[in-house]
Chains A and B, each alone.
Chain A
Amino acid sequence: MEHILIIGGGVGGALAHDLALRGFRVTLVERGALLSGTSGRHHGLLHSGARYVLHDLETARECFEENQILRHIAPRALESNDGLFVALDAADMDHWDRFIDLCAQAGIPAEPLSAALALTLEPELASSIEGAVRVPDASMDAWRLPMQFFATAQCNGATIREYCDVQALHVSNRTVKGVDIRNHRLNRVERLDADLVVNAAGPWAAKVAALADLQIPLRTVPGVMVSVPGRLNNMVINRLHPAGEGDIIVPQRNLSILGTTAWMADDPDVVQMPPDQVSRLFELCSRLIPRVREHEPHAIWHASRPVLAQGAEHDPMRMSRGFDCVDHAAYDELEGFVTLLGGKATTMRAMAEQTADLICRKTGRDRECRTREKVLKPYRSYYRIDVRRWDA
């Protein structure tokens, strides 16, 4: 079978798993530690899709479908807690009927609750709320869930190499034949040959594409998150309004994570947090749960979303979180090179499926996707397999 080289140890893990199940030879390279870019650094929300119904129904549908699949294939990386979309005022109530109608259209179970009932479920919510809608959101372990993809891929024969930074693409006759990596562990450059190279570097995908002088329609959209100590809520709390800043509080272990903001950056390696982001998050989230104000930050961090540049929307919060995989043979007359664009953690399995389908078409292999049913190995298996990961 063909040797597929994946660049990027985030969503690339789901792709390595899918391709290994289909019988391909797989090598994945990541410039740092696994999940050290975007995929491990989000606020840990398994979306029901409800967050997107008001402006991006397609992503909402995708999220719900993947939500159900991930509950089946990775149940142990998820807290069972559901989510509430809380209407704070009359302006939020204006969206109520449409929100419920659109959830129904996307197939997302949405149960309207009175303010009194919502407050019995989540006593720390602002007492003046108008009502809430219960949806199947969940808290996920942002590291352990994707590590299950890596563990399973590795058990199925994929080679996973951390601290290997791609420095060049080898191109001959308009075909990508492999890459040069700098192995930061051994301080040396190595050449890796492949039948096909997949650029799954998330917000860094533009830098990888630039190695082949290609431009891709990708925007880097960082956002800030703040965790506060203690669990202010047990369910995921969202504000019922068109998705905006500071309108999510995700509980996880003994923390509550306030999210998030969005702005445009040019380079995911040079991200400057705009001033006042943290105080704004506290202000906005305290409208949902007033006790947020009583806490000091436990941690402040940011992560860069890779957002597909499409359509006329310029508000980074409302730009579609959809994804696409690009066959550069069709667009740039460059064979052997595929780029995965956009997407989000909740939909990483679907991104992998679509990309692996494309790879099957390109290689003429008729292999069906099995990742919807295949329950993933426990993440700890990644450390228990007898492979010489460090001496490839």
Chain B
Amino acid sequence: MHNKNQHVTLRILRFKPGQIDPPRFQNYTVSVEADVDPTILDCLEEIRLNQDPTLVYRHSCHHSSCGTCACQINGIPRLACTTQLRQLPTDQVISLEPLKGFACIADLAVNMDVLFKDIDPLWSGLKIDEPDAGTSPQGIQTWQRLEDCIECGCCISACPKMHAGNRFIGPAALTAINRECTKSPGSRKKLLALAGGDRGVDKCKRVLACSRVCPTRVYPSRHIEDLRRHLKNLIANKLLK
């Protein structure tokens, strides 16, 4: 225990179609200096650049804004770029697997089509600014900023109902639908029809795993509850008429 460097073992699920197929685990060891705390993504970079150039994973921004590096870290979907190694029990082997519910391209990289197939490309990725009351300048309320959801897929990976073969549209798409209801009131009816459809909110069993794993605190389950309320009101209004 007096070594300057700690050796940490990462157990990575490898997959190459037709080559490493079915998938199998492979262990890698990274050496970590006592005074540094790398992220899981730093470890993957270290392995790819110095040990195994064939290791495939997605990454881009390295600070949780692109949403590309999500994977199952010790069984929980998280962003590799903001998961510090020392948050994990480094005296044990750390397991890395691709997100669940997506087709695997190779190793840790998955095809994101599942997430995007129910999100219209034209729905806006921007929202009106929500500044802190009192501290923000005048006029800023009309400024737009990027949506908090980074479409990383963690919520889909965590949702047991996504993987039960029951054709659930999923927490990411429902979140996008609810956000779009606010931003495009003209499309609200069509959007709520999607949310209330046979792949919609009724398939959600309120497990709340989506909200627990969301790295940018979008909390999809709240959006799903919003949609349920909107749908209820819509039905109540119809009955009153």
Name A residues whose Cβ lies closer than 8 Å to a Cβ of B.
32-36, 40-41, 44, 76-77, 79-81, 120-124, 139, 141-144, 162-163, 165, 184-188, 225, 227, 234, 251-255, 257, 269-270, 298-299, 301, 303, 377-381, 383-384, 390
Contact = CB atoms under 8 A, between A and B. Distances in A.
Interface in B175-213: none
A139 B146 contact: yes
B19 A187 contact: yes
Given A162-B105, A378-B122, 13 more contacts: A33-B68, A40-B60, A40-B61, A40-B66, A79-B145, A139-B145, A144-B125, A184-B55, A184-B106, A234-B143, A269-B49, A299-B63, A384-B121
Contact of A227 (B56, B63, B68, B147): B63
Given A76-B124, A79-B145, A186 B18 contact: yes
Interface string B127-162: 001010001111010011111101000000000000
B68 A143 contact: yes
B140 A253 contact: no
Given A142-B60, A184-B53, A123 B65 contact: no
A233 B47 CA distance: 37
Contacts of B57: 33
A257 B146 CA distance: 14
- Of residues B57, B82, B111, B145, which shows the largest number of chain A Cβ atoms within 10 Å of its Cβ? B145
A272 to B, nearest CB: 12
21 contacts: A32-B56, A33-B58, A34-B60, A41-B60, A41-B62, A79-B126, A80-B144, A81-B143, A124-B135, A142-B60, A144-B146, A162-B105, A163-B105, A184-B54, A186-B17, A186-B19, A234-B131, A234-B136, A298-B82, A379-B125, A383-B115
A143 B67 CA distance: 9
A121 B63 CA distance: 27
B119 A380 contact: yes
Contact of A121 (B18, B121, B137): B137
B51 interface: no
B74 interface: no
Given A76-B124, A184-B54, A253-B146, A234 B140 contact: yes
Interface residues of B, number: 58
A357 B52 CA distance: 39
Contacts of A187: 16, 19-20, 54
A165 B53 contact: yes
Contact of B62 (A163, A301, A377): A301
A41 B61 contact: yes
Contacts of A122: 137
B109 interface: yes
Contacts of B230: none
Nearest to B49: A269
Given A79-B126, A79-B145, A142 B64 contact: no
Contacts of A252: 65, 145-146
A257 B63 contact: yes
A33 B108 CA distance: 11
B59 interface: yes
Contacts, number: 156
Interface of B: 16-20, 39, 48-49, 53-68, 81-82, 105-106, 109, 111-113, 115-117, 119-122, 124-126, 129, 131, 135-138, 140, 143-148, 150, 216-217
Give the top 4 A-B pairs by smallest Cβ distance, nearest first: A40-B60, A143-B66, A301-B62, A299-B63
A352 B137 CA distance: 39
A44 B65 contact: yes
A188 B17 CA distance: 11
A31 B135 CA distance: 46
A143 B125 CA distance: 12
Nearest to A226: B63
A328 to B, nearest CB: 26
Nearest to B125: A76
Nearest to B115: A383
B187 to A, nearest CB: 16
A140 B20 CA distance: 39
A269 B51 CA distance: 13
A123 B144 CA distance: 19
A386 to B, nearest CB: 10
Given A36-B59, A122-B137, A384 B116 contact: yes
A301 B42 CA distance: 9
A143 B61 CA distance: 7
Contacts of A81: 143, 145
B144 A79 contact: yes
B125 A77 contact: yes
Contacts of B111: 390
A41 B175 CA distance: 26
Nearest to B79: A299
A185 B63 CA distance: 26
B125 A33 contact: no
Given A142-B66, A254-B216, A390-B105, A123 B137 contact: yes
Contacts of B125: 76-77, 141, 144, 379
A255 B65 contact: yes
